[in-house]
Amino acid sequence: MTAKNAPHLRSFSDYRAFLKAWMAWRRAGDPLFNASSFSTEAGFQSRSFLSQLLSGERELSVKTVERVAQAMGLQGADAEYFGLLVAFARSKRGDLKQELWDRILLAGFEPAVGELSRREFDFYGEWYIAPVRELAAHLDFGDDFAYLGRQLNPAISARQARHAVQTMVELGILLETEDGRYEQRDLNIKAASEVKSLAIRQFQKSTMRLAEEALDRWKKDERDVSCMTIGTSAQGFAEIKQLIQEFQRQVLETVARNPGIEQVFQVNTQIYPLTRRFSQMGKGSLPAQGEEV
């Protein structure tokens, strides 16, 4: 079968999505070809192997990656790229996932429509891009990116400030006007959830580090940092999450009611476990308790 109209491997960051596209392409040229046929060609005893793989019921191992790649005719760098996608999907560690994503980019990832591009990944992955988005739309800095960078605390370089603005212009979330200023546009990035969640996780880690540094960087009357350690039930946890969502909605409404930006702030909200569930310890439930710091 010729490679005409075959899906382009490096436009995918999800190996299952590529497999589904490859199967659709193969069936278009051979209507009798199906998941069972592929499983047999790849040398699997179970004819339902591919169906279970695509549904997420099974994962590929190092050995089975090679067999699946060979069955699709992937060789050399293509086979290696496919292996990176599989390793990326299997990895649970954030640091390893980031390393694998960097290798995928170096291997020539070329996002298709709906995939997360390098610029989009940068938007989520670099903490300073979001505040630059606010500054650029309200600060007349001309092309003095060094000046723009100095307005952040901690300050960033002129190169980073320029990169931030260029990233957002290419994404269409900043529009350069005829007078050389910038206007904000809505942020609407759709991407493979696995990649997008990695990028957002990087952003969240960065802002949490900034929150730690803010304790020393800003005076007490210029910030508000508070912590609570609580014990509650699963239902209580669910209700607290709803309260946080309602608080975030109210923050946005407050911003909308008070036009005219004088400063850019970062608002973080976190709630996370400090222990395992008591049921996993073989203990009974305890009454809700809380201590405010």
Encoded tokens for 178: 């005829």
Is 24 found in the same domain as 122? no
Domain assignment of residue 244, yes or no: yes
Q: How far apart are CA 159 and CA 164, in angstroms?
A: 9
Domain-terminating residue out of 54, 74, 106:
106
Q: How far apart are CA 255 and CA 16, in angstroms?
A: 41
> How much is the pLDDT for 290?
55
Domain assignment of residue 2, yes or no: no
Q: What are phi and psi for residue 174, nearest 5 degrees?
A: -130, 135
Is 76 found in the same domain as 15? yes
∠ CA 185-252-224, rounded to 5° = 120
Which residue range is the domain that position 71 belongs to?
9-106
Residue 148 near residue 141, CB atoms below 8 Å:
yes
What total number of domains does the chain contain? 3
Encoded tokens for 118: 């390098």
CATH of residue 80: 1.10.260
Is 66 found in the same domain as 52? yes
Is 219 found in the same domain as 230? no
Is 234 found in the same domain as 173? no
Residue 67 region, left (φ>0) first, then alpha (ψ -120 to 50), else beta?
Answer: alpha
Domain-terminating residue out of 46, 71, 106:
106
Is 24 found in the same domain as 100? yes
∠ CA 272-277-281, rounded to 5° = 140
Domain assignment of residue 3, yes or no: no
> How much is the pLDDT for 280?
78
Q: How many helices and strands in the chain, by DSSP H and E? A: 13, 4
Size of the chain in residues: 293
Domain-terminating residue out of 185, 204, 223:
223
Residues ≥6 apart with Cβ < 8 Å to 103: 84
Is 115 found in the same domain as 180? yes
Query: Per-residue confidence of the chain (293 residues) as pLDDT tens digits?
Result: 456 678 999 888 889 989 999 999 999 988 898 888 898 888 888 878 888 888 888 888 878 899 999 999 999 999 999 999 999 888 888 778 878 888 888 888 876 544 555 666 777 778 899 899 989 988 989 889 999 999 999 999 999 999 999 988 988 889 999 888 999 887 655 445 566 667 777 788 889 999 999 999 999 999 999 999 999 999 999 999 999 999 999 998 998 899 888 999 999 999 999 988 888 776 555 555 555 54
Is 241 found in the same domain as 174? no
Is 149 found in the same domain as 133? yes
Domain assignment of residue 138, yes or no: yes
Residue type, 211: A
Is 210 found in the same domain as 152? yes
Domain assignment of residue 24, yes or no: yes
For residue 114, CA distances in Å to 120, 138, 195, 197, 199 come to 11, 30, 12, 15, 15
Q: Which of 186, 208, 125 shows the shortest CA–CA distance to 160? A: 125
Is 63 found in the same domain as 163? no
Encoded tokens for 30: 């051979």
